[in-house]
Amino acid sequence: MDSRAVTPVVEKTITMGIVVLFVGGMTTAMFGTAVPTYRDAVGTEMSERVLAMASEEIERTVPPNTTTVQSDRTVDLPATIRGSAYRIRVDGRSLVLVHPDIPTRRSRPALPPMVTGFSGEWQSGANTIVTVRSVSGGLAVELREGAP
């Protein structure tokens, strides 16, 4: 009968142990499966939005009905996607977003037929600019970095 005073202490210790095991199990489950999966999905969605925004800014810079132009537009892009740097480069008439942790994404800006040249590359975190200038036979669009 002298062990009855120990019962509340043992009960609280067992309860605390169960809570610690529950929290530890939930933390392991969340950071082992749910959080990385969510982070990958958000990174993929973000890369698609960045590429769409870049395409839209390029389309806005190219005038629809002219062959004589000299225009620069600064394009604001996020410095990182999913915590890592990325780059956007031109491949033919398409934009390609290259990221170390996300599958490569492509987008094709709607450029008028008078655009005869499309080139360049942007690195994330840099001052990104799209330049449109007149060249013989049409317009040249260039992605570049630097001062506007």
pLDDT of residue 96: 95
pLDDT of residue 63: 86
**N- to C-terminal Cα distance for the chain?**
86
DSSP letter for 84, please: B
Per-residue pLDDT 10s for the chain (148 aa) are 566 666 777 888 888 889 888 888 887 776 766 666 777 778 888 899 999 999 999 999 988 777 678 889 999 999 998 889 999 999 999 999 999 988 899 999 999 888 999 999 999 988 999 999 999 888 999 999 987 6
Give the β-pairing of 70-75 and 128-135.
antiparallel
Task: Show me where the domains of the chain are located.
Answer: 2-145
